[in-house]
Amino acid sequence: MSEEASVCPSAPGPSTPLKESYTYHSPTPTAKGPYILGVDEAGRGPVLGPLVYGIAYCPASYKEKMEELGFADSKTLNAETRSGLLDILSSDPPNLGWSAISSGMLRRPPTNLNRQSEDATILLIREILAKGIELSEVYVDALGTTTTYEKYLSSLFPSIHFTVATKADSKFKIVGAASVAAKVTRDACVEGWHFEERDGKEDCPWSSELGSGYPSELDRDFTDPNTQAWLKTAIDPVFGFPKIVRFSWTTVKVILDKSAHKVKWTDEGQASLIKAFEGGKGLDKGRCAVTRDLHIKSIDTL
């Protein structure tokens, strides 16, 4: 297990399954405000593990000091450097604060990632404001058209000046710090993953050599052969994969189509199922076929 997985305070312990989204907050800084805050995420593309949103914040007067600490887009840094930077982010509690949301990717139906990102950003900002921190500027790393998102955030928090930009983690140090918090948290979650499906079993059927979570041949800059190998050996022909895998990803769907047992649904188009719950006619008006056949009646009073 890497250093990131063993010392990251924002990740669950190795014996704790990640069943739901959760939020970690570092101690609240006490230096005089106003504060600037950066937002970034880690894990949008991988097929394994959670999507993590990170924030970092410091007094506006600390901005020049932030320029000297070495924060940058976490994807350009190695694991040892990222871990050291998270230590720096935690080393000056009066001036530096950070938080992370580890967001579950197993919702059915899957949540739109842009919407999920917006919700997490808004939640984190509100929680920092609730701690009594005065925010004057917020910088957000985002994909696609940023102006609409920027206007939306400004409408929610009119007293804060927002800058929403692509590659903000390489343009603003405070976003780079948030990027590090998110990336270190995510890597620690994946490397220390507890397979809840093995609870009660003596041996774990899945290898802990998960890789980084990027298996796609379509993105060769991030392709990880360890992840590709793990996916090929981890599949169960009946139950598919453990919950660390994002079932809605195309890569996973392709593997399931090739290696898992086919499922024959008794009602492929659901047409007859829908018809069974349609309202009846005549004497059965207001009752569907299911309630009629099962002799189910509505009880107004007992």
Rg (CA), the chain: 24
Nearest to 125 by CA among 89, 104, 164, 153: 153
CA distance 271 to 293: 18
CA distance 190 to 23: 16
Q: Whats the size of the chain, residue-wise?
A: 302
CA distance 25 to 14: 19
H helix intervals, 165-212: 168-171, 173-191
The answer to whether 141 is annotated as binding is yes
**Inter-residue contact 69 to 172 (CB < 8 Å):** no
Nearest to 163 by CA among 172, 174, 175, 150: 150
**DSSP 3-state helix, strand, coil percentages of the chain (rounded to 5)?**
40, 15, 45
The answer to whether 68 is annotated as binding is no
Longest dimension (CA), the chain: 79
Other residues' Cβ atoms within 10 Å of the Cβ of residue 220: 8
Binding-site residues for a divalent metal cation sit at 40-41, 141
Binding-site residues sit at 40-41, 141
